[in-house]
Structure 1
Amino acid sequence: MTAEARRRALALGALAIATFTYVTTETLPIGVLPGIARAFSVDAATVGLLVGAYALVVVVATVPLARLTARVPRRAQLLLLLGLLVVANLGSALAPAFGVLVAARVIAALSHALFWAVVGPTAASLARPGARGRALAAVFAGQSIGVVVGVPLGTLIGEAVDWRAAFGGAAVLAAVALAVAAAALPRVARAEDLAATGSEPSGPRYAVLVAATVLVATGSLLAFTYVTPFLIDVSRVSPGAVSAVLLVRGAAGLLAVLVSGRFIDRHPRRVMLAATALLVVGLLVQWAGREQPLVATVGLALIAGGMSAFTTGLSTRVLTVAPGSTDVAAGGTSTAFNVGIMAGSSAGGALLAVVGLAGLPLVGAVFAAAALLLLAVEPPLVRARVPA
Structure 2
Amino acid sequence: MATHKTEETDETDKSTNRRGVAVVAALMLGAFAFNTTENLPIGVLKLMADDLDRSLSAVGLLVSGYGLTVALVSVPIARATRSVPRRLVLCALLAALLLASVVAALVPSYEVLLASRLVTAVAQALFWAVMGPVAVGLFPPHVRGRVIGALSVGGSAALVLGVPGGTWLGQHTGWQVPFLVVGALAVPSFVVIAAVLPDARPEESHAARGVRPDRRRFAVVLSVTALTVTGVFAGYTYISEFLVDESGFSESAVSTLLLVLGITGIVGVAVYGRLLDRFPRATLAVPVATQAVALLGLYAAGGSRVVATAMMVFLGASLGPVFMATQNQVMYVAPGRTETAVAANSAAFNAGVAAGALAGGLLLPVVGVRGTFLVGGLMTLAALALLLEEHLPLRGKRLTAAPKGAAARADARTRP
**Range moving further from structure 2, 334-343 or 300-309:** 300-309
| Partner of residue 387 from structure 2, selected from 357, 365, 375 | 375
- For 1:142, the aligned partner's letter is G
SS of 1:267 mapped into structure 2? coil
Which position in structure 2 is the counterpart of 1:51? Answer: 63
Higher Rg of the two aligned structures? 2
Aligned to 2:404: none
CA–CA separation in structure 2 for the residues paired with 1:78 and 1:305: 30
Stretch deviating more after TM superposition (118-127 or 35-44): 35-44
After superposition, what is the alpha-carbon deviation per residue over 1:77-125, rounded to whole angstroms, capped at 9, x for unaligned? 1111111112223333345243333222111111111112111111110
Q: Is 1:22 the counterpart of 2:17 in the alignment?
A: no
- Given the alignment of the two structures, is residue 65 of structure 1 paired with residue 77 of structure 2, yes or no? yes
1:339 is aligned to 2:346: no
Asked if the contact 1:149–1:246 (Cα under 8 Å) also holds between the matched residues in 2, the reply is: no
Q: How many angstroms apart in 1 are the aligned matches of 2:202 and 2:132? A: 14
Match in the other structure for 2:263 = 251
2:82/2:202 contact within 8 Å kept = no
Residue correspondences, number: 388
State the partner residue of 1:320: 332
Residues 113, 24 of structure 1: CA spacing in aligned structure 2 closer, same or farther, 3 A cutoff?
Answer: same
The reply on whether 1:142 has 2:158 as its aligned counterpart is no
1:50 Cα shift?
2.8
The 5 A counterparts of 1:141-220 are 141-220=153-232
Superposed displacement of residue 364, structure 1: 2.0
Q: Distance in 2 between matches of 1:175 and 1:37?
A: 29
The equivalent position to 1:115 in structure 2, one of 127, 131, 137, is 127
CA separation of 1:326/1:163 partners in 2, compared to 1, >3 Å: closer, same or farther? same
2:298, 2:370 within 8 Å by CA — same for their partners in 1? no
**56 and 90 in structure 1: CA distance in 2 versus 1, 3 angstrom threshold:** same
- Tell me, yes or no, if structure 1 residue 124 matches structure 2 residue 142: no
Decide whether aligned partners of structure 1 residues 311 and 50 sit closer, same or farther in structure 2, where only a CA change above 3 A counts: same
One-letter amino acid matched to 1:305: A
Deviates more, 1:220-229 or 1:110-119: 220-229
**Structure 1: any 5+ residue segments left out of the alignment?**
none
Q: Which stretch has the larger CA shift, 338-347 or 42-51?
A: 42-51
Contact 2:84 2:201 in 1 (8 A): no
Structure 1: how far apart are the matches of 2:47 and 2:247?
21
Query: Given residue 323 of structure 2, which amino acid in structure 1 is its aligned partner?
Result: T
Tell me if 1:12 matches 2:24: yes
* Distance in 2 of aligned mates of 1:45 and 1:362: 27
Using the size of structure 1 for normalisation, the TM-score is: 0.90
Matches of 1:384 and 1:78, distance apart in 2: 43
**Kindly tell me: are residues 179 and 131 of structure 1, through their superposed partners in 2, closer, same or farther at Cα, counting changes over 3 Å?**
same
Counterpart contact for 1:89–1:167, Cα < 8 Å: yes
The answer as to 2:311 corresponding to 1:299 is yes
1:91 aligns with 2:79: no
Find the partner of 2:292 among 280, 289, 294: 280
- Is contact 1:287-1:296 (8 Å) kept? no
1:48/1:345 contact within 8 Å kept: no
1:267 pairs, out of 279, 287, 290, with 279
* Cα distance, 1:201–1:352 mapped onto 2, change above 3 Å: same
Conserved? CA contact 2:44–2:175, under 8 Å: yes
Unaligned runs of 5+ in 2: 1-10, 399-411
User: Does 2:203 correspond to 1:221?
Assistant: no
Q: Percent identity?
A: 40
Q: Secondary structure at the match of 1:377?
A: helix
Equivalence for 2:3: none
Per-residue CA distance 1:147-172 (angstroms, 9 max, x = gap): 45443333333444443333233212
After superposition, the CA RMSD in angstroms is 2.7
Superposed CA offset, 1:197-245 (max 9, x none): 1000011110011111111111222233344555556555544555433
Instruction: Point out the more displaced range, 107-116 or 22-31.
Output: 22-31
Answer whether contact 1:249 1:297 (CA < 8 A) is retained.
Answer: no
How far is 1:368 from its partner?
Answer: 1.6
1:378/1:63 Cα in 2 relative to 1: closer, same or farther (>3 Å)? same
TM-aligned CA deviation for residue 65 of structure 1: 0.7
Shift in Å at residue 257 of structure 1?
A: 1.3
Contact 1:156 1:243 in 2 (8 A): no
CA distance in 2, matches of 1:230, 1:45: 21
What is the TM-score when the length of structure 2 is the normalising length? 0.84
Residues 1:195 and 1:331: Cα distance change in structure 2 (over 3 Å): same
